[in-house]
Amino acid sequence: MKIGILGGTFDPPHIVHRAMADSALEQLGLDEVIWVPAFSNPLKGDAFTTPGQRLEMVRLATEDESKFSVSDVEISRTGPSYMVETVEELALIRPSAKWWLILGSDSMKRIQDWRHAERLARMVRFAVIVRPPDRFAGVRAGLPRLFADQMDEVKTKVSLLASTHIRADIRTGTDCSTSLSEPVSEYIREKGLYQPVRAEEERKD
């Protein structure tokens, strides 16, 4: 089987995450894409919602696609979430699978900063979504051969979108229907997530 992994904080999961997964699924002929919410992203600050809430939002964001699945491997592990450990755990369950790690070109340019990056590069191929102003050839040329030889370009027409901006829109009551799926929007409204008062409380969970 050909399996993609899409990791992230997903705080919240939005249309760009979905476009990345959809594009990789189609263009690389993957059999499955596993979404993996991080317990704690070592390269970013604390999340604004609990791991359980983010896991549920990812489930809601992916429930309409049978080739998507959601793993709690990083949330169950707790502590900083390192992709190399995640791939090793998933590979134990499916030892015959071929793996692609789906990520943006901004992350790919910093891949050498990841924990045991060389070991990771020997376990997966990188499905790279190029984000302007980057170009695939330029990103590839800037990396050592070990990483460059493992890269596949995935194209998507969805524009840049940051979770930071979505959280700000939610707090101000701005319509986010073009950024979030309806099930995710409904869950956020139901739980009162990303509101000014709750944001600091949720950081402590």
Q: What is the pLDDT of residue 203?
A: 46
Spatial neighbors of 26 by CB under 8 A, at least 6 apart, are: none
Q: Measure CA of the first residue to CA of the last residue in the chain; give whole Å.
A: 37
Q: What is the pLDDT of residue 201?
A: 45
In angstroms, the CA 67 to CA 49 distance is 26
Q: Give the side-chain half-sphere CA count within 13 A for 150.
A: 23
Spatial neighbors of 170 by CB under 8 A, at least 6 apart, are: 176, 188, 193, 194, 195
Q: What is the pLDDT of residue 174?
A: 86
Cα R_g (the chain), whole angstroms:
17
φ/ψ region of 82 (left if φ > 0, alpha if ψ in -120 to 50, else beta) reads beta
Q: What is the pLDDT of residue 204?
A: 39
Mean pLDDT by 10 residues, the chain (205 residues): 97 94 97 96 81 97 97 93 96 95 96 96 97 92 98 85 84 88 96 73 42
Query: Which ranges in the chain belong to alpha helices (H)?
Result: 15-27, 51-62, 73-77, 83-93, 105-108, 117-121, 136-141, 145-148, 163-172, 182-191, 196-203
